[in-house]
Amino acid sequence: MADSDQDRLGASTTALASAGFEVLAACDPASLAALINARTPSVIVVENALADSLHNPGAPILLLVGPEDSVDPKTVEAWRQADYIFSPVRNDELVQRVKALVGRAAERVRNRSKVEALRENLRNVSAAIRETNDPQIIANHVVRGFGRALDVDHVWFATFRDERVPLIRAQCNRPGLPQLPAKLGPSEETIIEVSNRLWAEAEVLAVTDHREEPDSRITMALHEWAEEIHPISTVLLPVGEGSSALGVILLATVQERHPWTSAEIALMQHVAANVAHGLIQGHLIGAQQRVLHQLRQLDKAKTDFLATVNHELRTPLTSITAYLDMIRDGAGGPVPDGISSMLDVVTRNSDRLRTLIEDMLTVSMQDASNLDLKPVDIAKLLQVVVATLRPLAESRHISVSFSEASEDVEITADEAKLEQVFTNIVANAIKFTPVGGQVGITSSVTASNGGRTSAVVRIADTGLGIPEHDLPHIFTRFYRASNATSAAVPGSGLGLAIAHDIISRHMGKMVFDSTLGTGTTVSVELPVGGP
């Protein structure tokens, strides 16, 4: 109690003490400040002339205003909890005003505690939503969390027919109360329309007592939807994204009124935003997972098909090539020259078919096979590849040269698979190089930016080159460059796909540098330390 009038200070102090208050008296700004610093008052009763010294009182203020005093509204507003009383002051009125301020302050503390508890409960709901991508689990968290946090009788959640989210229904009801209908029924159009309007206006529809407005459109729609349920208080909370609502949350009490506070509504809207984000994200992830599962099934079916076809083709081809060899060796008698040339054509095409079957078998087994790692000398490996393919090059009058690195290059790799890679690449270079062309093979050692040492093999030809629009697709299985197809160059489109897959599994990389009509250089880089 701060008052420069000693008589009034004494009378007021006596009246408040008689009402059960502990009163600390001050007659000037300095003693008032000292008392506030020493104690935490429940209420500060202060004469208007001394009020200027109160900057951050931390307690409700009751201002004593004289007949000629003026009150600064901004000062009173800054105090937040304040009241004023005119002099001369009746003691009973003073006591009543102080009690009212104490009660209001206590109510404010209780409300703050309730809001903090509600905020914490709904924060837990949002956290649970973020921990899952399953739309139904998200909906279950929402209805259970809202039911507990707001202590309501019914919470019902539904999504509308919308491509952004799946169709979901979830509800939570107080024990002993009936379930709400799973479908909106005849009320669907009205509730969707209201939800879209609320979403567009960033509002919710909060009704404290439906009995006071029985003829309202939403009251009638809710009654039509759930005839056996007679809600007293409801909140219709839209869940949306973009320009329209994609669902709605309904909270209802049927036993007592619930005066919805602005804090409750703001927190519910915050959670609803998390719900919309979680549902859309979960729906997208679920769709991606389903597509991925289907792709895996298709890939397995394709692999199984290739393995089966390979087996079915290999068996008759073995018989064909065996009989061809016997005929060419004269098992059936001398072969006329004309027939011999025909048999040469059959033999070449049988070899092509066998190569295709082997490539398809490699593709079907590629993902499941493991690498047989061991030290591999790159120079010796490339010499074997060149020796194997030299007859093919000579038959086309193409020169093949090999220049090895100045130092020994040894890597840890699967030798058989690397031989298959370089055989495919060099064979392609020979196949796509015109008669009289050249194929050059070099090996070297280089250090990458990260300091890792790599072996680099380059195969350069003077062939057709690859059109620029075909380069992004050359590692795709069964894909063939457009100029190769138009030039009727034989091939299955599997060789480079197989080679790229093997190099990738060795943690290496393949790079193509090609100019149409000039030639192609393929660079293969492999880590010296192994994959």
Mean pLDDT of 464-489: 71
Query: Is the model more confident about 364 or about 255?
Result: 255
- Both tokens assigned to 289: 């997972």
Q: Superfamily assignment of 6-110 in CATH?
A: Response regulator (3.40.50.2300)
Of the pLDDT bands very low, low, confident and very high (cuts 50, 70, 90), residue 491 is: low
Count of Cβ atoms closer than 10 Å to residue 386 Cβ:
18
E runs forming strands in 321-434: 374-377, 399-403, 410-413
Domain boundaries, the chain: 6-110, 115-281, 374-527
pLDDT higher than threshold 70 for residue 271 = yes
HSE at residue 349, side-chain half, CA atoms within 13 A, is 7
3-state SS, residue 236: strand
Q: Hey, which of 62-71, 184-193, 365-374, 455-464 has the most confident mean pLDDT?
A: 455-464
> 441 pLDDT exceeds 90?
yes
Considering the chain, what percentage of its residues have pLDDT values greater than 90?
A: 23
Torsions phi, psi for 59 (to 5 deg)? -150, 160
Average pLDDT over residues 240-257: 91
Going by their DSSP bridges, the two strands 61-65 and 44-47 should be labelled as: parallel
Predicted TM-score (pTM) of this structure: 0.48
Assigned token pair, 444: 């070297």
Question: Where on the phi/psi map is residue 46: left (φ > 0), alpha (ψ -120 to 50), or beta?
Answer: beta
Measured between its terminal Cα atoms, the distance across the chain in Å is: 83
Check residue 141 and give its pLDDT: 93
CATH architecture type of domain 374-527: 2-Layer Sandwich (3.30)
302 and 363 in contact (C-beta within 8 Å)?
no
Q: Which CATH superfamily is domain 115-281 in?
A: GAF domain (3.30.450.40)
* Segment of 97-111, 267-281, 327-341 carrying the highest mean pLDDT: 267-281
Lowest mean pLDDT among 146-160, 310-324, 411-425, 493-507: 310-324
Q: Is the pLDDT of residue 488 over 50?
A: no
What is the C-alpha separation between 462 and 203, in angstroms, rounded? 71
* Same fold? 6-110, 115-281: no
Contact 81, 57 (CB under 8 A): no
Phi-psi region of 474 (alpha: psi -120 to 50; beta: other; left: phi over 0): alpha
Give the distance from CA 164 to its chain's centroid.
15
Cross-strand bridge partners of residue 481:
none
**478 token code pair:** 């069964």
Q: Judging by DSSP bridges, how do beta strands 438-447 and 399-403 pair with one another?
A: parallel
Q: pLDDT, tens digit, for every residue of 254-266?
A: 989 999 988 889 9
12-41: pLDDT as tens digits? 899 899 988 999 999 888 888 888 888 888
Contacts made by residues 31-36, CB under 8 angstroms, sequence distance 24+ = 31/2, 32/2
d(CA 64, CA 74): 17
> Is the peptide bond prior to 181 cis by the omega test (within 30 degrees of 0)?
no
314-340: pLDDT as tens digits: 677 777 888 888 888 878 788 887 888
